[in-house]
Structure 1
Amino acid sequence: MPKFLQDIIDASRPKPHVDGITMVLDRISKFPGMEVEAIAQYIDVAKIGWGIPFIMESASVKKWVDRWKSMGVSVSNGGTLLEYCVTKGKQDNCIRKLASEGFGTLEISEGVIEISRAEKKSMVGLARSLGMRVHVEVGKKDSRNQLTLNATLDRIRAALDMDIDMVIVEGRESGKGVAIYDESGNIKWDWVDAIVSEFGLKGIMFEAPQEVQQTSLIMRLGKDVNLGNIALASVAALETQRQSLRGDTFGIHPVQPEIMGGPSPRFVYYIISSHGTIDQDRIMKLTGLNRRTTQNSLSSLIRQGLIRETRDMTDLRRKLYSISS
């Protein structure tokens, strides 16, 4: 069936998606109906949160999973459910039950407990043998017991060494006080830059429950960033951001050239292209980048011939930056 005003823009994004993955957090508050069918094309994974399946009848869980599958959406457990089973020594039983009920994706996390590498490899192997995709979530749920950046990088590295499909960077439902977010929900860009610089975007998903976080990550990393813990009510808004059909990201992707050097130069280029001629202090204020990162990004963009540097004729000490014509 054609999209609305398809003669002007074809906003279809046929599955399977190899990037720009969207994972929703399903709280089991309302059975997925017409409102979900309308946007199911843009949902790749539905994660039934936490240990919710424990409090449901088995037949109800299967009915819920089947409904998602009928719309072409893979269903994942919440990592907490599997963590609880690990504490009981019943992780294999859990994985087999999930597979038999139609869950297509297994999430392994250590948000509350620690799981040995041997146990994780065993669970990955079992899930693979049952035809499941595997996501490994990195991060702690307790804001008072957070991993350091180096520890986070080490765990991502270790997870990617296993036969998995995606590493998820913890964000919880709040997007506050965990991993890449500070206590107010602001993004710690030094963390994001460190993760993306080492691992790239493919195979990495950032949980981003707040719409402002989703917009910021797309503006900085591009439309193909994988995002998780998206509320069902935010899916359509997120997709318009990905496709540059909303004010925040309007037109940024079609006009942005290939930019080398990681996410920071891309973000600085976007700011300059959006605001016109601008000085370094203003760029730092708009991006939140520190002076050294900003200077390095500007130098990289100048070397690539993407921007030009001139002097403010009213103050020759002040440098101005604009897009190269």
Structure 2
Amino acid sequence: MEITTFNAEWPTRLLDPSGRRMAKPRTRGYTMVIDKGLGLHAFTDLLNTAGDYIDIVKFGFGTSTLYPPALMREKIELARKHGIVVMPGGTLLEAAVKQDLVPAFFRQVLTLGFNGIEVSDGTIVLSRRDRDDLIRDGVSLGLKVYTEYGKKLFGSRIDVEEFTRTAEQDWACGADLVTVEARESGVGVGLFDEHGNCRESELQFMASAVPQLERVMWEAPQKDQQVSLIKSLGSDVNLGNISVQDVIALETMRRGLRSDTFHLQSATFVADYVI
């Protein structure tokens, strides 16, 4: 018999076979997307298609300064309507520090409507005191503050003890998440080797040594990196620097809707299918 339905929805257990994915506003399993120059129409399409799966949008590097202000405001407003934290890239704040323009940076962040900032020292040298002050300043202005650990220099690695000390102090100053640097390429920096492969032994060591892993975000722009982190740390790992075209693909991996993470599907769902 032919079955015809209209306006039908997928069965609930096919929407999330893992049974573990939180809806927004989430307290874990954040996805941070990097916008490197989307136009308004493309940005609108992104949010209409995948806004439910995006928690943070970062306008990469110093790109925020290159948009017409009216366009920048419109993109920020659209993202916020979708419950998304929007922030300029940490490199822009680093430039403000170097140019002695931090107060002007914060004024423009608020004027444009950003509700988050990234505090990093991937390119400059930032003292612990200055890092603390930037975090506290952002928090005092009502902004979500995400910090970043690591240098952008090719070949830089993670010192787990230093990372732990940095993260604990950042959290004490009011930071929401601490991000492990991997750049937008995901190659030869931090957790990933010169081929972009995850250093599994280092990841396992960090997973056992670092407290509050739910407050750590891992930059993982490549698909295999995302798979490694999900398999090691679970579907609700916080992942950043996700390209705009990969948002929904990543969400399928979080839910066990892709072969790479099919094992995440709950036993109940598998049993029902077998029956």
TM-score range, shorter chain: 0.7 to 0.9
Equivalent in the alignment of 1:63: 74
Q: Does 2:39 match 1:39?
A: no
Query: Which letter does structure 2 place at the counterpart of 1:73?
Result: I
Contact 2:47 2:79 in 1 (8 A): no
Q: What is the aligned-residue identity percentage?
A: 34
Equivalent in the alignment of 2:25: 16
Query: CA–CA distance in 2 between the matches of 1:189 and 1:168?
Result: 18
Contact 1:3 1:10 in 2 (8 A): no
Query: Which letter does structure 2 place at the counterpart of 1:96?
Result: R
Q: Does 2:244 match 1:232?
A: yes
Equivalent in the alignment of 1:216: 228
Query: Which letter does structure 2 place at the counterpart of 1:25?
Result: I
Structure with greater contact order relative to length (CA < 8 Å, sep ≥ 6): 2
Query: CA–CA distance in 1 between the matches of 2:212 and 2:83?
Result: 27
For the residue of structure 1 that corresponds to 2:137, the secondary structure is helix
Contact 1:43 1:235 in 2 (8 A): yes
Equivalent in the alignment of 2:64: 53
Equivalent in the alignment of 1:164: 175
Contact 2:34 2:57 in 1 (8 A): yes
Query: Which letter does structure 2 place at the counterpart of 1:114?
Result: V
For the residue of structure 2 that corresponds to 1:9, the secondary structure is helix
Q: CA deviation at 1:37?
A: 1.2
Structure 1 residues 159, 194: closer, same or farther in 2, change over 3 A? farther
Query: CA–CA distance in 2 between the matches of 1:147 and 1:7?
Result: 40
Contact 1:223 1:253 in 2 (8 A): no
- Structure 1: which 5+ residue stretches go unaligned? 257-325
Contact 1:222 1:253 in 2 (8 A): no
Equivalent in the alignment of 1:6: 11
TM-score, length of structure 2 as denominator length: 0.85
Q: How many residues align?
A: 255
CA-to-aligned-CA distance 1:159-217 (integer Å, 9 cap, x gap): 23321100000011110110101111011123222322222421000000001110111
Equivalent in the alignment of 2:34: 25
Query: CA–CA distance in 2 between the matches of 1:14 and 1:145?
Result: 35
Equivalent in the alignment of 2:272: none
CA-to-aligned-CA distance 1:222-281 (integer Å, 9 cap, x gap): 10100000011111011111111111111425249xxxxxxxxxxxxxxxxxxxxxxxxx
Whose helix proportion is higher, 1 or 2? Answer: 2
Q: What is the root-mean-square deviation in Å for CA atoms of aligned residues?
A: 2.1
CA-to-aligned-CA distance 1:30-76 (integer Å, 9 cap, x gap): 32123431210110000000000122222222122112112221101
Equivalent in the alignment of 1:307: none
Query: CA–CA distance in 1 between the matches of 2:248 and 2:155?
Result: 34
TM-score, length of structure 1 as denominator length: 0.73
Query: Which letter does structure 2 place at the counterpart of 1:24?
Result: V
